[in-house]
Structure 1
Amino acid sequence: MDWLERMNNALVYIESNLDGEIDYKKIAQVAYCSEYHFSRVFSSNSGISLSEYIRSRRLKLAAFEIQKSDIRVIDIAIKYGYGSADSFSRAFQKTHGIKPSEARNKGVQLKAFPKISFQISIKGDTELDYRIENLDYELRIVGKGKSVKTSRAFKNIPTLWSSAKKDGFMQELKDMAWENPKCTLESLLGVCGREAAITDDEFTYFMGVRYDGEPPSDMEILIIPASTWAVFPNIVDAWKRLYTEWVPTSGYELANLPCIECYYGPKHKPSHELWVPVISK
């Protein structure tokens, strides 16, 4: 079963459960992908977060039922996952621009939100360089976790590092790093998610360094198990192309671990890399 078929099977599962409970773990299982990576694969390829897609599809179906039936609005709200008429009304009005009760008026306009399906698009794009690294030992990373909105990650993460430089946290990390070089991953590290699971709207960005000593009292320890990694030399470019270009055609599956952003010291070429956990198909 290839990547495209698995992603579309996950969409079939979502569509079949819009009027019931949708289990995010089950979605990932159907796609043979971790929760951590599925939300990113989905948003990178669709341009919309998974939670927003599900919400929009449910509100589209809810609008259709309100128009075509005499079922009470509160019953339709509960059917599509809303705990109260007020929360349903706010979401409905935000999407369709009118109150649910007004959807039964003749001639009223509602917004359609069609089902998504994934297809492979062949483009004459530039090559995406990468290498495979096998680390047969766990990574013990010391640092601090910061909450990040997924939709604003590309803007917020640089701000986090800028703040860390100003308040001295970055220098603390540098003072601990590279005392006993162990591998090519000796750098300032940004771990995207404390665990493999990641929600659509928010995740923890763990800023730290590989360090074997006793951590300062205000820092935590994060352990990343031994794994195989696909390493890309440009973080921004890699994030843009990882899920849409590399994953579907690479011959690798994404492992159930977080990705790591590596920011190297002066004169290191390249200056930063994205490490992506993988397993061979």
Structure 2
Amino acid sequence: MVIAALNRLVDLVEEQGGGELDVSALARSLGTTEYHLRRMFSSLAGMPLSEYVRRRRMTVAAADVVRGADDLLTIAVRHGYGSTEAFGRAFRAVHGAGPGDVRRDGGPLRTQPQLRFRLTVEGSSSMDTRIVERPAFRLIGHATRVPLIHEGANPHIQRFIASLPPEAHGRLKGLSGAEPAGLLQVTDDVEQDSPEGTELTYLHGVAAGADTPVPDDLDAIEVPAGRWAVFRSSGAYPRELQSTWAATATEWFPSNPWRLRPGPSIVAVVERAGDFSTATTDLWLPVEPA
């Protein structure tokens, strides 16, 4: 279902040309949500939907520019831009040269092929997953804004945690009173199809009951009641955790009747080596029936 929905979305990009892309209406017609569709697209395509749309439109526009049959304003309007200036900026961002230069020289051009999603079933491994229903709870801790990094340790998060005084960890553990247990790594405020480098909220903290008082010097994220898919991974850290995160999009969601819902993503460290080179973690993702 997810793969079919993504391919319909790709087709819609082609059909709309320079028109407005109504992802929300498409998602409703396919029985899913815009949030889930955009997150799955970003995870599987390796780029946000907005970036793919821009690249595809500029790929098609480049052919119009090179052919030279129409003036640049006509081409700009055809592809959804109200002026040659706005069109030129978008064109240069993709191709590295303005439309006038490309019309004169024939290039350079950077082509974005039309995507097509396929599900490959390997059957060689299984994902250790459970579905948990939780009442509303609070995430309490120390929060900051950091850029999104897809691979490897996030140095911004590492520096933030290192800056906390040693007694802060013990204090947080004393506030823990709900699942997931222990010190948690929480990411929130992630846009639906965020590219790498986009800022998000990172919270180093614990889960507590919905009525637990929040100390004045700590931050809190209110989490509504709902279901969670919990994915366990073990091995080299953070590589195995990031591989599991990627596999939720490429393997688990396409073959299970669940979809992402808005909410924070939570990593609970079950056990780890002293130097954190290896760890067993639980990745909590908020889900709802598809």
- Scaled to the shorter chain, the TM-score interval is 0.7 to 0.9
8 Å Cα contact 1:215/1:221 also seen in 2: yes
CA 203–264 in structure 1, closer or farther in 2 if over 3 Å, else same: farther
Equivalent residue for 1:191?
Answer: 186
8 Å Cα contact 1:192/1:203 also seen in 2: no
SS of the residue corresponding to residue 266 of structure 2 reads: strand
SS of the residue corresponding to residue 221 of structure 1 reads: strand
Deviation at 1:264, TM superposition (A): 4.4
8 Å Cα contact 2:146/2:156 also seen in 1: no
SS of the residue corresponding to residue 233 of structure 1 reads: strand
Equivalent residue for 1:240?
Answer: 246
CA 179–143 in structure 1, closer or farther in 2 if over 3 Å, else same: closer
CA 181–149 in structure 1, closer or farther in 2 if over 3 Å, else same: closer
**Distance in structure 1 (CA, Å) of the matches to 2:35 and 2:170:** 28
After TM superposition, the structure 1 = structure 2 runs for residues 115-194 of structure 1, keeping only pairs within 5 Å, are: 115-135=114-134, 137-150=135-148, 152-155=149-152, 158-168=154-164, 171-172=167-168, 174-179=170-175, 181-183=177-179, 185-194=180-189
CA 50–240 in structure 1, closer or farther in 2 if over 3 Å, else same: same
8 Å Cα contact 1:260/1:276 also seen in 2: yes
Q: Structure 1 counterpart of 2:258, which letter? A: Y
SS of the residue corresponding to residue 154 of structure 2 reads: helix
**Distance in structure 2 (CA, Å) of the matches to 1:111 and 1:261:** 38
**Distance in structure 2 (CA, Å) of the matches to 1:175 and 1:265:** 20
* 1:107-165: CA deviation from partner (whole Å, max 9, x where unpaired): 55633322112111122543221122222x11211235444444x2444x632432233
TM-score (ref. length: structure 1) = 0.80
Deviation at 1:170, TM superposition (A): 7.7
Aligned with 1:257 (options 235, 253, 263): 263
Deviation at 1:244, TM superposition (A): 0.3
8 Å Cα contact 1:178/1:186 also seen in 2: no
CA 143–182 in structure 1, closer or farther in 2 if over 3 Å, else same: closer
Deviation at 1:209, TM superposition (A): 1.9
CA 35–143 in structure 1, closer or farther in 2 if over 3 Å, else same: farther
Aligned with 1:276 (options 273, 282, 285): 285
Equivalent residue for 1:200?
Answer: 194
Deviation at 1:83, TM superposition (A): 5.8
CA 84–173 in structure 1, closer or farther in 2 if over 3 Å, else same: farther
Higher-strand-fraction structure:
2
**Distance in structure 2 (CA, Å) of the matches to 1:171 and 1:224:** 26
**Distance in structure 2 (CA, Å) of the matches to 1:106 and 1:166:** 53
Equivalent residue for 1:95?
Answer: 94
1:226 matched to 2:235? no
Note the residue ranges of structure 1 that are not aligned, 5 or more in a row. Answer: none
Equivalent residue for 2:12?
Answer: 13
**Distance in structure 2 (CA, Å) of the matches to 1:4 and 1:51:** 18
**Distance in structure 1 (CA, Å) of the matches to 2:96 and 2:57:** 16
Equivalent residue for 1:52?
Answer: 51
CA 203–190 in structure 1, closer or farther in 2 if over 3 Å, else same: farther
Of stretches 258-267 and 205-214 in structure 1, the one that deviates more from structure 2 is 258-267
8 Å Cα contact 1:96/1:111 also seen in 2: yes
SS of the residue corresponding to residue 182 of structure 1 reads: coil
CA 29–160 in structure 1, closer or farther in 2 if over 3 Å, else same: farther
Of stretches 258-267 and 13-22 in structure 1, the one that deviates more from structure 2 is 258-267
Deviation at 1:17, TM superposition (A): 2.6
Q: Structure 1 counterpart of 2:192, which letter? A: I
Equivalent residue for 1:209?
Answer: 206
SS of the residue corresponding to residue 177 of structure 1 reads: helix
**Distance in structure 1 (CA, Å) of the matches to 2:71 and 2:215:** 58
TM-score (ref. length: structure 2) = 0.78
CA 177–246 in structure 1, closer or farther in 2 if over 3 Å, else same: same
Of stretches 91-100 and 79-88 in structure 1, the one that deviates more from structure 2 is 79-88
